[in-house]
Structure 1
Amino acid sequence: MTAVAREALNAAEAAVPGTMREIAFVQALKDWLGGFPTRATQRLEAVLMQHPRDALAMKLVQAIHFLMGRPKEMRKSVENILPHWDGHVAQGYVLGCHAFTLEETGEYARAELQGRKGVELAPQDAWGLHAVAHVYDMTARSADGLQWLRGREASWMHCNNFRYHVWWHQALMHLDLQQFDEALALYDRDVRADKTDDYRDISNAASLLSRLELEGVNVGDRWDELADLSEKRATDGSLAFADLHYLLSLCGGERFESASRLIARMAAAKSEICESQRIIAHPGLRMAVGVQAFARGEYANAWFNLRDARADLQQIGGSHVQRDVFQRICIEAAIRGGYLDAARGMIEERSTVRGKTWDGYAERRLALLARAQAQAV
């Protein structure tokens, strides 16, 4: 949509000068298209200081910080305006945004309470409902999470492609409980109901298939259509998060030449000055090299690259749950490469971030490590 956005920017700049508030939106768009999202959020935050009930400014700030991997900034922004929404007809939607930021900054109990309150006030708000689903994932309560989502389908079925993402959350909960057939059924029926090339839809699909394969599940030929689409999108060069999911699809479909071209393009981002390109260069590039090495069975090489990228992984954007596929690949590379102590350490670190709980994945990998270490004695 970049070309359309540039057309809109040109039309806005050619129009009669608007209010200061309107000009701020135009300049924020210009900053975003120029590769300076931080500056864009600063302009929009200035709008919120004068107009704290500007829902569009609020959502744009949330979205940009989310894409740039800045949950603390997301939370600070929404908390600054929260009191101004008391009693407003749309208060529930703002509480849903707050709940998500609480979850992403590790306050899981508060996030659940705030999210439930938001859904009570705004039953049609899929974002708030999904914020609570995040809490269930991060605190290893998949069965409870399924119960939370069941019967609330009307909250997300009216949405645009975000509805696929909520179905993805439900599939992850089934996967955690080793209900692999249910996860695959959701993939076919809902997650990939429409074979779109939107990077968010591809990321849902690619990360779910990757997790299933790490559990030893045969996903058949499902990678093929994702690889076809990702070959066409691999020149986008907009976000590291998108690139890495295109790469998962290309590797899953064994399109290694296309994967190498994508990585070469990511390497060229080192010379760019804009923020998103710097993130593509690091940690995106090292993560990409590690993912490709893992797909080729080069586990030691994969581990070294993934380990170096892992500390800065949050910068690629997305949520903890979305980025977890790369955490799992990193752990898996360490196990398969023979770095068992390192794998255990990463599993324990992952548990600390997830409310000091052990989900199904962690329990299964710890059991595997225990068996491997017992055999080595």
Structure 2
Amino acid sequence: MQTDLSTSRVSLDDKTALEHWNGVIHGVLCHGSATGDHLDALIARAPDFAMAHAMKGLACLMLGRRELISVAEEAKDTANAALAQGGATKRERLWCLALEDWLAGQPSRSIARMEEALRLNPADTISMKLSHGIRFMLGDHLGMLRSVERTIAAYDENHPLYGYALGCRAFALEEVGRYAEAEQTGRRGLDFARDDAWGLHAVAHVYDMTHLTGQGIALIDNFPDAWSHCNNFRFHVWWHKALLHLDKGEIDTVLDLYDTKIRNEKTDDYRDFSNASSLLVRLQLEGINVGDRWDELSALAKKRSDDGCLTFADMHYMLALMGDTSEAGAARLTKRVIAAAKTDDDVGCVMAMPGVSLSQGLEAFGEADYVGAFAHLSAAQTKFQVMGGSHAQRDVFERLTIEAGLRAGRLDETERLLKARTALRGHREDSFAATRMARISDLRSGDPLMTAAE
């Protein structure tokens, strides 16, 4: 047996196969565009390496696409057939069980498998990354930090993947609000892994959350090595840059980033879709005319909204369908979310809350029923976290809740939401909060212009 980049033993005897497996590990950690090529080459070279098939299946499930579930099922069957031949390590068997658990509707159990693998070797960076990634999709920010903190002592500067481990730690620290530590850790990680897009984006999150827009823009501009090699994750980095420019009121730059970077490639990957739809909503809430940019997103949303794999994805499809009263629009998606909420698995639990209330609230917002929208959105707001994603990504739903409250005249409740949002952001008031607090003040003073505008 040989040892891989994660300093763990693997049941690969072929040197070339090991090189491709290490390429997969590195590619997953840096979000590299060549990751899939390495995985295909590995499977062709070592078809009996069960862990490769488990990786393929898990990667399919992370894409949140209904049609890829059958591909993941096939990968599970192939992995189990490979395991039956014997010779697999315990870690490899645990990965195959993680795939089975997720296919059974229990990704939370998949996390437990990865954590068991980490007990075998705390410095197993790729198992840590998979635990980190699944927790991210489940909104388990506290678990992300606990997982990394349990293992980070196993690393030193000589570990080949030390920088990527720091990048994961930086993101977890940011998500629990420990911004200074997150910035320091993320920047140190980039010293060891300059191509770590996740670590760079963790620091960008810090600057977005703490209203340090200039520093965030400079970070992304000055570290092209961290995102230029990326798969579609580079679109997400550019999305962060657009958010920072939006906070500065630089609308022309935001629209240019949307057209030339964020949505230049019109994919139907839910992560790319969420970048686009959430940015357009933010622009519209600031009174910006986004032209016909919604057209292609709405068409895609109607095609993808039957997936029902992730509440996070469905709610971003809903952003493109708000105001669409056709049978293929918002009402249809809400009905599907209500049906999905009845399933007895991890997805059904999140669909039930916040999914149903959030979907109903977004539908009402699109119909200009702001009283109804605020009732539904505020009911879901305390559970937004369990949808997964980051604070920055979920903030579009926070903004819509606040905007609905303002338009419904629920000023006291809206002010409390704004203050809680600012407290989460290190008590730094960004441009969105500043303008909404000013609007509340004007409404309370009976400003006739504000009253007419509402």
Question: For this structure pair, what is the TM-score category when the shorter chain's length is used for normalisation?
Answer: over 0.9
Aligned residue for 1:271, secondary structure, equals coil
CA RMSD of superposed structures (Å): 1.3
Query: Does the aligned pair in 2 maintain the 1:351–1:358 contact within 8 Å?
Result: yes
> How far apart are the structure 1 equivalents of 2:257 and 2:447?
40
Counterpart for residue 331 of structure 1: 402
In the alignment, structure 1 segments of 5+ residues that lack a partner are none
Post-superposition offset of 1:286? 0.3
Q: Of residues 113, 117, 135 in structure 2, which corresponds to 1:43?
A: 113
Q: Of residues 383, 391, 396 in structure 2, which corresponds to 1:312?
A: 383
Q: How does 1:18-97 map to 2 (within 5 A)?
A: 18-87=88-157, 88-97=159-168
Letter in 2 for 1:350: R
> How far apart are the structure 1 equivalents of 2:101 and 2:188?
35
Q: Of residues 243, 252, 256 in structure 2, which corresponds to 1:181?
A: 252
Cα distance, 1:227–1:310 mapped onto 2, change above 3 Å = same
Counterpart for residue 42 of structure 2: none
Q: Of residues 197, 204, 214 in structure 2, which corresponds to 1:133?
A: 204
Q: How does 1:189-200 map to 2 (within 5 A)?
A: 189-200=260-271
Indicate whether 1:3 and 2:74 are aligned: no
> How far apart are the structure 2 equivalents of 1:254 and 1:361?
29
Q: Of residues 430, 447, 454 in structure 2, which corresponds to 1:359?
A: 430
> How far apart are the structure 1 equivalents of 2:74 and 2:262?
32
Post-superposition offset of 1:19? 2.4
Which moves more between the two structures, 281-290 or 327-336?
A: 281-290
Letter in 1 for 2:410: Y
> How far apart are the structure 1 equivalents of 2:109 and 2:301?
30
> How far apart are the structure 2 equivalents of 1:360 and 1:270?
36
Cα deviation code 1:56-100 (max 9, x no counterpart): 211110011100000010011111111112121221111010000
> How far apart are the structure 1 equivalents of 2:302 and 2:240?
26
> How far apart are the structure 1 equivalents of 2:114 and 2:213?
37
Letter in 1 for 2:240: H
Greater C-alpha radius of gyration: 2
> How far apart are the structure 2 equivalents of 1:277 and 1:308?
18
> How far apart are the structure 2 equivalents of 1:89 and 1:30?
30
Post-superposition offset of 1:52? 1.7
> How far apart are the structure 1 equivalents of 2:103 and 2:433?
40
Counterpart for residue 26 of structure 2: none
Q: How does 1:1-377 map to 2 (within 5 A)?
A: 1-15=68-82, 16-17=85-86, 18-87=88-157, 88-251=159-322, 257-375=328-446
Letter in 2 for 1:14: A
Post-superposition offset of 1:175? 0.6
Query: Does the aligned pair in 2 maintain the 1:92–1:121 contact within 8 Å?
Result: yes
Query: Does the aligned pair in 1 maintain the 2:322–2:365 contact within 8 Å?
Result: no
**Aligned-pair identity (%):** 46
Post-superposition offset of 1:325? 0.2
Post-superposition offset of 1:258? 2.0
> How far apart are the structure 2 equivalents of 1:255 and 1:318?
29
> How far apart are the structure 2 equivalents of 1:310 and 1:12?
40
> How far apart are the structure 1 equivalents of 2:247 and 2:323?
21
Aligned residue for 2:292, secondary structure, equals coil
Post-superposition offset of 1:295? 1.1
Aligned residue for 1:29, secondary structure, equals helix
Letter in 1 for 2:154: H
> How far apart are the structure 2 equivalents of 1:13 and 1:124?
34
Give the TM-score, by structure 2 length. Answer: 0.81
> How far apart are the structure 1 equivalents of 2:430 and 2:377?
22
Letter in 1 for 2:119: M
> How far apart are the structure 2 equivalents of 1:296 and 1:180?
26
Cα distance, 1:275–1:304 mapped onto 2, change above 3 Å = same
Aligned residue pairs, count:
377
